[in-house]
Amino acid sequence: MDDTCAKEYIANLEKEFSLIENGFKEEEKRALADYLSNDNAYIKELAFLAFKSNVYQVRMYSVFLFGYLSEQDDILAFMRDEVSKDDNWRVQEVLAKAFDEFCKKTGYEKSLPVIDEWLQNTNPNVRRAVTEGLRIWTSRPYFKDNPDEAIKRIATLKEDSSEYVRKSVGNALRDISKKFPELIKMELSSWKLESREIKQVYKLASRLVD
Here the CATH number for the domain that contains residue 3 is 1.10.1240.70
80 and 177 belong to one structural domain: no
Number of domains in the chain: 2
- 131-189 pLDDT, tens digit each: 999 999 999 999 999 999 999 999 999 999 999 999 999 999 999 999 999 999 999 99
96 and 114 belong to one structural domain: no
Distances (CA, A) of 121 to 99, 127, 130: 14, 6, 11
Predicted TM-score (pTM) of this structure = 0.96
33 and 122 belong to one structural domain: no
- The residue type found at 120 is Q
Distances (CA, A) of 73 to 67, 76, 79, 102, 129: 12, 5, 10, 11, 17
121 and 145 belong to one structural domain: yes
Last residue of a domain, one of 71, 106, 141: 106
144 and 167 belong to one structural domain: yes
Q: Which residues contact 100 (CB under 8 A, 6 or more apart)?
A: 67, 133, 134, 140
Q: Is the pLDDT of residue 1 over 60?
A: no
Sign, CA torsion 85/88/90/91: negative
16 and 68 belong to one structural domain: yes
The region that residue 192 occupies, defined by phi over 0 for left and psi between -120 and 50 for alpha, beta otherwise, is beta
pLDDT (0 to 100) of residue 4: 86
Last residue of a domain, one of 69, 86, 106: 106
- Domain span at 47: 1-106
132 and 45 belong to one structural domain: no
Q: Is the pLDDT of residue 72 over 70?
A: yes
Compute and round to an integer the Cα radius of gyration of the chain. 18
Q: Tell me what percent of the residues of the chain surpass a pLDDT of 70.
A: 99
pLDDT (0 to 100) of residue 30: 98
Last residue of a domain, one of 62, 77, 106: 106
